[in-house]
Amino acid sequence: MESGSFFLFVGFSVGTFLCFFDRLYTYPKKTSSKVNLVCIGCVGIISSKVFHYILSEGNLFNFNGGYVFLGFLFPFIICWLFLKQRVGIEFFNVLSICIPFSHSIGRLGCFVNSCCKGDFNDLPVTLLEAFFLVCLTIFLLKKYKGKKEDLFFIYMTHYLIFRIFIEFFREDHIRGMILTIPASQFLSVLFLLIIFVKRK
């Protein structure tokens, strides 16, 4: 197994473990909810490959890299927009802990693969993003304790704003451009606007 696939596998495995980790839940535990979280994650991996294929004509069947993380988030955002009231806020609060921590592991794979790193003064943006994601996970965990806030909204706004900023340094043109704007930056702005409009 190559390094990129290895870190992706580890990140997804950790996220799956967290989804099934009983102490993470502050509401009556439902196995079906945990399975749904993992199923959406599997759809997210497929979505991330499809996004990469559309934006940069990447290879759909190359699993050692070639993913768009915002494509992974896309099915989760759709579910949050349309199913939040139905399935309950706790479902998405658990996601808000699992996703950023798993994502931080995946970014270590990007660093090892020397991809997604940008060319701005050799700035290790993948390590910087991994550090930010760990700090964000800790921040969300502290807010999670005994509170009923919409942590998915908090996670998305913090991460998307950070992603808009970090894209200025990544120079990751392999992910494609939309209207002369780096695709990931464009999608971050679009998703941010959507969740704010939906929030209101």
Structure confidence by residue, pLDDT tens digits, 157-172: 999 999 999 888 876 6
d(C-alpha 80, C-alpha 25), whole Å: 18
Residue 18 has pLDDT above 70, yes or no: no
* Inter-residue contact 136 to 98 (CB < 8 Å): no
Q: Is 39 exposed, middle or buried (0-12, 13-18, 19+ CB in 10 A)?
A: exposed
Report percent pLDDT > 90 for the chain: 18
Structure confidence by residue, pLDDT tens digits, 59-106: 555 555 567 888 889 999 998 988 887 777 787 888 888 889 888 888
For the chain, how big is the Rg over CA atoms in Å? 16
Q: Model-level pTM?
A: 0.81
Contacts 24+ apart (CB under 8 A), 155-159: 155/95, 155/96, 155/99, 155/100, 156/73, 156/77, 156/80, 156/191, 156/192, 156/195, 157/192, 157/195, 157/196, 159/100, 159/133
pLDDT for position 40: 81
